[in-house]
Structures are given as C-alpha cells and as structure tokens.
Structure 1
Amino acid sequence: MVKPIHSADLAWNEQGYPVACAFDDVYFSNQDGLAETRYVFLNQNQLPQRWYNASVDHFTIAESGFGSGLNFLATWFMFDQLPQEHRPKQINFVSFEKFPLEKSDIAQTLAHWSELKPYAEQLIAHYPTILTQGCQRLVFANGAITLDLWFGDIHESLEQIPTPTSGLVDCWYLDGFAPSKNPDMWSQSLFDKMASLSKNQATLATFTAAGFVRRGLIEAGFSIEKAPGFGRKREMLHGHIERKSSYSTIAPWFYRHKAESLDDIAIIGAGLAGASLSYALSKRGIKHSVFESESSPATAASGNRQGAIYPLLNADQPTLSEFFISAFAYLNQTIHELSSQGHRIAFAQSGVLHLGYNEKAAKKLAKTAQAQWPETLIKPISAEQASDIAGLALEHSGLFYPQGLWATPADLVQAMLSQASASGYGCVQYQHQLTSWQTQEDGKIRLNFANQSSKIVSQLVLCNGHQITDIATCEKLPITPVRGQVTHLKSASPLSDLRTVLCYDGYLTPAHNHSHCIGATYQRGRLERDLSDDDTHKNLAALRNCITQAWTENLNVDDSQGRAAVRATVRDHLPLMGPVPNIDMLTHEYPQLNTQKSREAAPQLPLIENVYTISGLGARGVTSAPLLGELLACELSAETMPVSQKILDALHPARFWVRRLLRGQPATRD
C-alpha cells in the first residue's frame, strides 16, 4: 500500500525563521543557523580536515532531518572552497525527511544567507515537487555532489538503504528537532541502525547533549564525547564508531559485486540504456566505450519521434510505483540538465491524460486514484476537465499527470552520448556487432566483433535490447521481443489544437514538427521492422474506437507514415539491471531457499564474472533508462544506491529464478 507524505506545517518566528508547528521547535538556532551548522556538524566531524589528504573517490554523509537543506548547502559550500586535489571526487549526501518543506518555504528560509545564494538557487531548481515515499536523487556540479532525499519515516528508510558489509556512511549529522520535542526519532533503534550503516571510523555529531542520547549511542557502538555547545547550548555530543557490527541488506541470492577494476568498460548498444550508462560513467571520470552494431545511435526502440512519459503507478505494487516515480523525477532532471548544457532535446511538459475509454479502463483508473497520491503527481478529472486540458472534445473522464511530458528519445540518446564524449571519458564506435567474448585468465574480457576487430576490457555491459538473448550465455534471460508500430499523422486543424498527450488503448501526442504520433501496436515474438498498412489501420481504429468525436475521423497519415521497432520486455514490467547470473549453475547447483535454515546457509549467487546488463526496458525505456544507468554506475563503483533494497532486488536479472527457489520450486524459468 502506498503511504502518503505530508508537507511540514510551518509558522515563522520574529527572526523570520521557520518553526515546525507539529513539534513546536525551530529548524535551527535563532542566533545564526549557518554558523551553528558549521560548528556542530562540519567542525565536530573534522571536515574538511578528513578530506584534505584523503585518497577516497567518494565520501558519504548521512543526515537525520533535511529541513530547509541548510546543512547540505553548508557542506557543498565548504567542498567548493577546497582545491580538487585535496577533496574527494564525489560527495554523496543522504538525508531523511518525514515532513518535507515545500519549495517556496525552502526558498524563503535560505534567503537569509546571501553567501549560499548560488547553491540555494540550484537546490530550489532541482528540489522535488512530487513528494512521495522513497528516494529521489538530485545531481549537482556535474556529478561531484549528489543528494539523496529519502521521504518518509527515517526508521523505515534506514531499513531499506542497500548496505554492503563494509558499511555505507563516513559521517553522520544527527539533526532533527530536540529530543524533548520529537522523542520518536531519538530512539535506540535509530542509534543501532546508524551503527549498522557506518563504515569503520565513521564519525557523528549532534547539537544535543541529552543523557539518554549519549547512552544510546554508546550502547549502539559509538565512542562519544562532549564538547561545548553552540551559542546558548552548554554542551553537544560528537564521536566515532568503535564497534562495527557485521550487517548487510543484500541477501546472498541477490548478490551484486563491485567491479575490481574500472580502467575500461565496454557497453554494447547505443540506445537509451547504453547512452544512460555512458553519461553516468562519464560524470564519474570512468573510461568506457560504446559499441553499436548500426551506423548511428538510437536505431531500435529508442528512435521513435515522440514518447509519452509518465510514471507507471499501481497501488497494489508499491515497489514498482516507487521505482517509476524516482525514475520519472530523475529523467526530468536529466533532460533539463542536458538542455542547460546546450544540447537540443525536443520535449514538452504537456501533461499526460489517461482516459477511462471503456468500463474496464475506467475501473482500473478508479482503483489507481484510490491511493493517496499527491495531486502534483496525478489527479482524477471529469470529461469536461479532460476536454479543457486537451484542447479537444473528449467524452471520457480520466486521470491527469500534470508533470507528464513527451520527448524525442533519439535526442536524449544523442545528448547523453555527446556529453560523455565531450568529457573525454566516453566514445562510441559504430558498425561493431558483438559476436562473442571470452574471459581471460586475468579476469579481463576479450570482445570479438563481426568486422573482425577485437577489444580487451575490464567489464562488459550488455545494453543491446532484445538481441541480448542471441548471446549464448544470455539466451535464457527472461526477455521477450515485442514489435510495435507507431503511425505519424499530419498536423492540421482541429488535431493541431491538442495540448496534452492522450492515453487510451494507445496514445496520441501533441504536434512536433507539424506531425503527431499515434500507436503503438503490440506483437509478441515478431522481429520484422517493415511498416505494415494493417498496423496503420489498427492504430487509427484504436483512436476512433476509444474517442468517438468528430475530430478523430478526418485524420491524414504523414508522408513518413510511421516507424516500427522491437522492444525488449519483461513480464513483471520492471527492467533487468545488474550482474548477469550464471544460469546453468543457478538452475543446477544453487540450493533451495524455502526454509530459514537454507537461507542462512545460502551461498552467493553464481554470476558471470564482470558481465552486467541493462535490458528489458519495454515501452517505458525513456522514463527508466537514466536512473538505471545511474544505478549501474553506482554498483560498479560501490557508491550509495538511490533506491531501496526492495527495488534493487526487484531489478535483479536473476529474480525470476530466485523467486522460484524461495517458494521451494525448481529454479527453472516459468
């Protein structure tokens, strides 16, 4: 069940600072909130001294209570003052907030500190407007600063953060409202979980010196000392982890392995998946090559003129919904980021309107609407409202995604590849059809291409859509090819008045370059890409059958007619992201997992060494690809993951076999 998120109820005191009405407490010191942050959290955690001569690539800070973002901005500001050779390559700031502030409240609060203005403006521009439970990753400074905002109860969120046995957090900002005002947060379970997520020598600091907080942190495994407090506060606490417990959220049967060497990575396929990974790797300074079998990028399903983009929501499947909401937000951020860098991407935040075109569709939409989604994400509308939004007469009510959009996928692909190439870390080689590979004794992989060339790489990532099953070791992956054909319509009155994407038993886009897209057919197992007149008629018939208005009758097919492509689909509507399993070993040697004893004794999942995939994106590849690329880049470099462990497990390429083993069934593909 989807849990709602409620924004903070604020009042403003005489100093113009926010006060949380629910806790009757200020968000920071009335004397000087920025000075308090620098003294309590930065100085007492020994920042930036710990960075200055550190040789770490990335450093993770976790914070209990994001509030206005003041602690985050103060940290970013300090990071920016250091020369690059004396700071980590990347800071990952992980923050938890049960009652997030609205964007306008953050802007009003941060206006008090002019030195933070350029940083505050970027935070406000990127700050989520869709507030739902889960994590949303915000990227700043071309990837040098990432902010993971976890909305919801901190106790639940900490349970779900993917954590390796080595730990996750280098430094804790134990913030939030005073223990006397918000005792539910300052609990032993919180302190214990902080210790579980900590790396060796992780530090912490907090403004409070409450005795039960000190005792609880010590019991959890921290060494704690008192220090003079800020301003009128007499004392505060700081310390470091002393007893590191063995803890991981990653079950052996969903094992994922960090790449041992990242000197050269090969990505097969220059579509949405491959381009997204290339873009994510380039921001981390990781060298890689993209190998594409065709002579240009986005020649397969990524090449349609316009894609309808909105998150897939299902009130009965919160993991699926949470993933697509996070992916949708990350895609929006990526498009705006690339556009600001000068790349031309055709898109429009036109909204997406789902119509209840028959009784079955109406019931499905009504069920979706029953969940407590925020109106910034989705809202029910009447037929009259639907007509007003669309700019054309409609006879059905429906659901409206106000932040939905259409975009040209090929533009997005080209922008990501161009940006990766401009960074100096990525390159694309066309007309390179992978035919086979061999793992060498040193663990590196030799790639063989149809043009008789070869390449030695450290990791191989397969992003080649449905063609992944043409490769012998991947032929059993649960990918089904589905042919889809879209039809292009000439834009003429009254169709040219359409202002939003319409979804029915198909979809129709607003005009772009004097043309609209309708589609798409869905034909399992078919691989041909020639245009079919019969499919054109099916697309037109679907529109006219679902919307019986006069404007649907006089439609003219554009000279280009349309486009056919083959999608790679997975039956649970989630893509595959992560290491490729050794399916022979998994099906013949891996034990059952249906008892507590068997799970406790389970070995690590057998994997094909140094081989990964992003595949099975289906009809929602534009929405999911950028986040999937970011996730795999995090996995390869052992960084903090901006999704829950449940989502990560739900994306694992071995999940279908593992689910059968957990049910006590043979690990054969069902």
Structure 2
Amino acid sequence: MTSSENSPATQLASVSWNDDGLPVSKQFDDIYFSTASGLEESRYVFIDGNQLTERWQQLIPGSGFNIGETGFGSGLNFLAAWQLWENLETTESCQLHFCSVEKYPLSPADLKQALALWPQLSKYSDALINAYPPQPLSGIHQLVFNQGKVLLTLYFGEAAEGFSQFAAIDKAGEKVRSLINAFKCANGTRAPYINAWFLDGFAPAKNPEMWSHELFEKIKMLSGKNTSIATFTVAGTVRKGLQNVGFECKKIKGFGRKREMLIGHLPANQTFPVSDITSQDEALEKKPSLLTTQLSTKQRRRSQNENSWHLISTPDNKNIEHCIVIGGGLAGCHTAFALAQKNIAVTIIEKEPSLATQASGNRQGVVYAKLSPFQDPLSTFNLNAQIYADHFYQTHNFYRNCGDQCGVLHLAVNDRQQQLYSEFAKRFQGNKAFVQWLTREQCQDVSGLKSHYNALYLPTSGWINPVKLCRQLSQHPLITVKYYQDITTLEHNGSWHVSNASGQHICQADAVVIANAFYAQQFHQSQHLPLKHIRGQVSHIDTDLMPTQVKSVICGDGYIAPAHDNHYTFGATFGLNDDDQRLRHSDHTENLNKLKVLSPDLDGIDAQVKPDTLSGKVGFRCTTPDYFPIVGPVARFEDMTQSFALLRKKAKAVIDEPGAYHQNLFCNLAYGSRGLCYAPLSAQLLASLISGDFLPIERQLYRYLHPARFLIRDLMRNKV
C-alpha cells in the first residue's frame, strides 16, 4: 500500500494560450485544434472520414455504436459526435459509447476555457465540464449523459495501456491474448469492439511515443468486422503502423489547407492477429485448450497471478433481451435501471409487498465511502464509486427528488485520520468543487454545528431516501415489478426459470441477476459465496429535541443527516452475528453516545433524550471478508475447482484456461453500509458485462469485485 505521494498520478497538460485565444500544448509545442476552424476540421476528418452520418442513419433501433479515440484533448471530437448523434432521428433508441485516452488531461479550468471557444456546443460542453473527473485521477472514468444514451469512457494515462484496459486482455503472450479476446472477454456475454476510430492527438513528429506498434496492436485488438479509421495525418509511421496490423488505408483530400488525410477499414478476415486463426468463427470452433499456447519463461513470470479465471469459457453472442433481477433493494433496483438504460427489459422479483424494505429501507442514507490517499484497490474503488454516485444522483435529479445534495463532512476524529484526510484533500487541492479540507470553524459554517475536529468536505455529496429512490428507479418503462414472490429455485433450460418454495413457476428470462443480499445463499448456484450479515440499528429524533439545526451530513464514528419529515436520522450500530430484529434501547443509547461526540453542541444530548422515546429501524447489511462488493458471473463451483486444482499445489501456477460459469447467471451483492455509494457504479459494471459493453473500471480492479475471486483465493490457500 502506497500513499499518493509515492504512486504515479496523471500529469496535467501544460497549456499556454496564443494570440487567438487557442490552447497550445507546452509538452508537445502543438495546437489542440485548427486555428481556422477546429470544429469544422473535427467534423470533416473524423465524422465524415468515418462516414458516421450515413452509418448512423442505418442503425437498427436499440443497437449501439462504439467510437475509439486517441487523444481526448479538449473533448471537441466527442462533443461534435454527440451533437450529430442527438440530432439524428435514427439514433433515438440507440446508445453511443465514446472511448478515449489522454496521457496529459486538461485541468477543469483549462477545459472550460478551451470549450468556451465553441458557444454553439455549450449544451454539450456544459454537461461535460460538470461531469469531468477530478484531477489528478489516472485510470478509467465513465461519464453518463442523455439518460444513458451517450457514454464517455475516459482513460487518463498511456494510450496503449488504456486500450488494454478497454479490451480486458491480459499481459501474457501475444497468441494467448488474441485467443482470449476471440473466445470471450471479461465482459460477460460477448466482447465489445470499436466501430470507428478517431486517430487524433498531436502530430507524430512531435509525439512519436504514442504512435507505437503496441498502440496499433491494441487498436487492432479492439476492432471488428469493417471497423473504420480516420486521421488527420498521413505520416508513414501511422499509415504503415495501421497496415502492418491489417488495416487497408488510403489517402484523401485533407481539411482546408492540408493536402491529405488518411482513412481506412479493417477487412472481415483480419479481425484477429493470429496466424492460424483468421476469423472469430474459426476461433470459436477451437477448444479452450488453445489458451495453453506456449509462453516463454519470461512471459510466464510476467503473467503470474493474471490467470484467465475471470473470463467466460463459452461465448454466447445472443443478445440478452430480458433479465430477471431477484431483490428489490438498492442493488436490485440500480441493476434494473442500468440494464433498462441499455434497452434490456427487466422483471424485478421482490418477496415483500414493496421495494426497499430490508437493509435499504432507512429513512435516510448517506452517499458515503471511506476515502483515503492510498491507491490500493479498495481505496481506488471507493473513490471511483463516490465520484460516480454523486454524478449519477445529480444528473438524474435523484438528489433533488429523493434527498438533498447538502454536502458531507468526514470528521478527522483522530491523528491518523487527520493525516490521511488532509493528504487526500491536498491531492485534489485544485478541485474544490469535489473536495475541501475545512478547519473546525469552517465546519461550523457548513453544518451549522460547532465541531471538535477538522474535516474532509465533499460539497457535491449528500443523503438519499432509499425507498423513494428505488421507487423512481423502478419506474423506467422497461422495468416491471412482481411483489410477494419469494424465489427459492433457479433452473436453466435454454432460458432461466425461477420458482417459489411451493414449486410454482414465477417467471423466465434470458438472464438472471441475484441481488437479494445474504439470501443469495439459498440458491445452490450461489451458496458458496462467503456472505455475512451485520445488524445495524439507526435512531430517529424529533427536530424539536435537537438544540440546533443540522445543515449538512456529519460523519465521524457515527453520523447524522439534516432533518427529513420532522426527524433527524443518526447512528448506526454494527452487530456481527446478531439476528435480533427488534429495536433495542441499548442500541439507541449507543447511537446517542456517538451523536454527542460529533459536536460540542450535542454534548448533553444523551442526558436530554431518553432512549425509550426514540424510534428507529433495524436492518441487516450484507458484506464480504474483503469489503468489496460481489459483481459479475456466478461460477460453477465444482467445475471451477477442477479446472484450477493446480493452484492448491502451486499458488502461482499459470493456468491459461477460462473460468467455468453458469450461462447468463450474475450477481450484485454485499455493499455493506455503503449501498448508496457503491450501487450506481456496481450496477453500471454489471449492465456492461451483461450487454457486452466496455467496462466502467479497469480490468485489474474488476477482478477484486469478481464473484470467483474467493474460490480462486481458497484454492491458492488449499482451503477447498
């Protein structure tokens, strides 16, 4: 575990502004866009060069289109594509996914100044600026626009590495990587590919490192039948690099005074760069044992701990049109909403008479994750989830309709937290819209209460009423809900059939998502998952009994949220292996003791308020031993242990075989006490897996959420 000071962070672009007010890169001594007309050049080179207008006019309703870009820069190409996409009637029910890489991202201030040059795009640029990731954040960031109809997936870092993350391929041998991509991808049902490439970026003469053979290999790996390319340059480095990996290219007239530009496409028989496999159909006829292709000793050392257990062994390229989601809490409703946004019909099956009655049924929940300057996997996921959740609830108006974007204070209640929180704030010191470090006096200005401590402040976060949220999520026209249905049996026979305890058939669909917390263990397919439940009790107090008004969420050892329906919600207790569903006065006392520590204004609250006068709610949180949620395909336990049995004897053995999974059976579980924060990103991840879309997080980080991770770890420790 390393701190942010010792970990690589994205270096921001160093920008100057010329006499015409145009941005110029100091790193590469080159302009970001044409001094004549950057927008018109973007449309000519990339939109017309890839014939996007004509291709988009022929799209099938409900389909998608993926664009890949080298060099996000100011985002001008993305905005131009988004504008055209929105203005075509044929794209109304389709999804545009724009994937771009950028080694030196613009700061939010520079991005705003650059895009101000294009007032005709302000509708789109304002949305981009509002969603733009805090700096410096390396890795993948997925931004959602137009109710999920437009996705922007950014990778801040090296271009070739970024496209490796999009492809979800491993660092093993070249043939193994190709076969993995041919057989299946980390994306559950089918591997996504780029339909059109915008090969942008600074001129090859000024940025030769980006235009490498490795980059062209990654572009090829992410391309499919008749993928097109367009680029402003005709430099031999680019043209030959594309031709060497199988693209057919030709020069055409360039924009304005530029004499030439380059366009091209990938022929159907050039999809996979493996000498004995020339098409995907042929690849799929091969047996999975092909994945044990010979590797050099050096390659085997490098690929240790990067086995292919997370990949699907039998590809299913049939589109999933209908999915059952078992569980109507935060996990289930978020999953259903994310799937519906990808044009997949969903049936939520809930055993209670209404949604969000169990752990998701509190009056108020805080959009909270434990933030840290460390860049270990859990800290990285927490940060990504926090950013994604706040943007999700804001853009979909859920903060306004189901809660309050009032800001959240993370009190530094001890010296260790003081150090970590202040370091975290320092890391993002140029992004006060995302996070701020506040003194005790400043905390009082924000919360309305005096503070014992300094604090980390997230001004765009807040609280949500989970019940209202689940109701609104489930109102999507592609979502239906069945109540009073306690599912106990899942059976697959061409499609999935779900039945209740009486054996009554309830529903069938192409796929099933198990999202019913620790009740997932009642299904034999998922009973091996190491789920545990923690009892939690929150307390409610009348607003008249509080000495002062609370204006923001305050989190320390406990928490309190601003008033809602004439009550304050505070807590909460944590009881492992405690099944008591009754409200307990002793837990109210514990919550009152936590409350009074949050502020000097609340020091005497436990003496003024009697525990037996308080109302509250008991819920049971579902969690895992490693505190990550569980998101992805459900493993076939016996087959998986057999395929990876060698790990019992040699934990670092290289087994280039895919995992064994139930066809189209997935789960989304174990958020612990961070459901409101984890749910949006986890649901988007799962929807991307099911629909065969590019993932919203890095490939390696996905492994930490993968349901099979516990089984693999237990094999390596010889526990199963």
Give the TM-score normalised by structure 1: 0.90
- SS of the aligned residue for 2:674 comes to helix
For residues 192-591 of structure 1, what are the structure 2 equivalents within 5 Å?
192-241=217-266, 243-245=270-272, 251-256=307-312, 260-339=318-397, 344-356=401-413, 358-359=414-415, 361-362=417-418, 365=421, 375-376=431-432, 377-418=434-475, 420=476, 423=477, 425-440=478-493, 442-448=494-500, 452=504, 454-492=506-544, 495-544=547-596, 546-547=597-598, 549-554=600-605, 556=609, 561-588=615-642, 590-591=644-645
Q: Return the offset for 1:299.
A: 0.6
Q: Is 1:62 equivalent to 2:68 in the alignment?
A: yes
Structure 2 unaligned residues grouped into runs of 5+: 169-180, 183-190, 275-290, 292-302
Which amino acid is the alignment partner of residue 553 of structure 1? Answer: G
Match of 2:186 in 1: none
Q: Deviations over 1:48-93 (max 9, x none)?
A: 2333335482121111122222111211222233332x78821110
- How far apart, in 1, do the equivalents of 2:33 and 2:426 lie? 38
Q: Deviations over 1:347-401 (max 9, x none)?
A: 2232322222x35554665676686776544454444444444332222234333
Say whether the 8 Å CA contact 1:577–1:632 is kept in structure 2. Answer: yes
- How far apart, in 1, do the equivalents of 2:566 and 2:573 lie? 23
Q: Is 1:180 equivalent to 2:205 in the alignment?
A: yes
649-658 vs 205-214, greater mean Cα deviation: 205-214
- How far apart, in 2, do the equivalents of 1:528 and 1:246 lie? 59
Q: Is 1:12 equivalent to 2:17 in the alignment?
A: yes
Q: Return the offset for 1:463.
A: 0.6
Q: Return the offset for 1:536.
A: 0.8
- How far apart, in 2, do the equivalents of 1:557 and 1:228 lie? 81
Which amino acid is the alignment partner of residue 666 of structure 1? Answer: N
Q: Return the offset for 1:481.
A: 0.6
| CA root-mean-square deviation | 3.1
* Percent of residue pairs bearing the same amino acid type: 32
Which amino acid is the alignment partner of residue 384 of structure 2? Answer: S
| CA distance 1:343–1:282, shift in 2 (3 Å) | farther
Match of 2:284 in 1: none
Q: Deviations over 1:283-311 (max 9, x none)?
A: 22211210111111111111112222234
Q: Is 1:171 equivalent to 2:192 in the alignment?
A: no
Q: Return the offset for 1:565.
A: 0.1
| CA distance 1:11–1:548, shift in 2 (3 Å) | closer
Match of 1:191 in 2: 216
Q: Deviations over 1:94-142 (max 9, x none)?
A: 1122333344544443344454333333333433346512222222232
Which amino acid is the alignment partner of residue 628 of structure 1? Answer: S
- SS of the aligned residue for 2:592 comes to helix
- How far apart, in 2, do the equivalents of 1:373 and 1:311 lie? 19
| CA distance 1:373–1:571, shift in 2 (3 Å) | farther
- How far apart, in 2, do the equivalents of 1:594 and 1:16 lie? 63
429-438 vs 615-624, greater mean Cα deviation: 429-438
What count of residue pairs does the alignment treat as equivalent? 657
- SS of the aligned residue for 1:252 comes to coil
Say whether the 8 Å CA contact 1:432–1:450 is kept in structure 2. Answer: no
Which residue, 13, 34, 37 being the options, matches 2:42? 37
Say whether the 8 Å CA contact 1:394–1:547 is kept in structure 2. Answer: yes
- How far apart, in 2, do the equivalents of 1:161 and 1:596 lie? 30
Structure 1 unaligned residues grouped into runs of 5+: none
Say whether the 8 Å CA contact 1:162–1:644 is kept in structure 2. Answer: no
Say whether the 8 Å CA contact 1:349–1:405 is kept in structure 2. Answer: yes
Match of 1:642 in 2: 696
Which amino acid is the alignment partner of residue 500 of structure 2? Answer: N
- SS of the aligned residue for 1:403 comes to coil
| CA distance 1:253–1:599, shift in 2 (3 Å) | farther
198-207 vs 506-515, greater mean Cα deviation: 506-515
Which residue, 80, 83, 96 being the options, matches 1:77? 83
Which amino acid is the alignment partner of residue 447 of structure 1? Answer: S
Q: Is 1:94 equivalent to 2:136 in the alignment?
A: no
203-212 vs 256-265, greater mean Cα deviation: 256-265
Say whether the 8 Å CA contact 1:489–1:557 is kept in structure 2. Answer: no
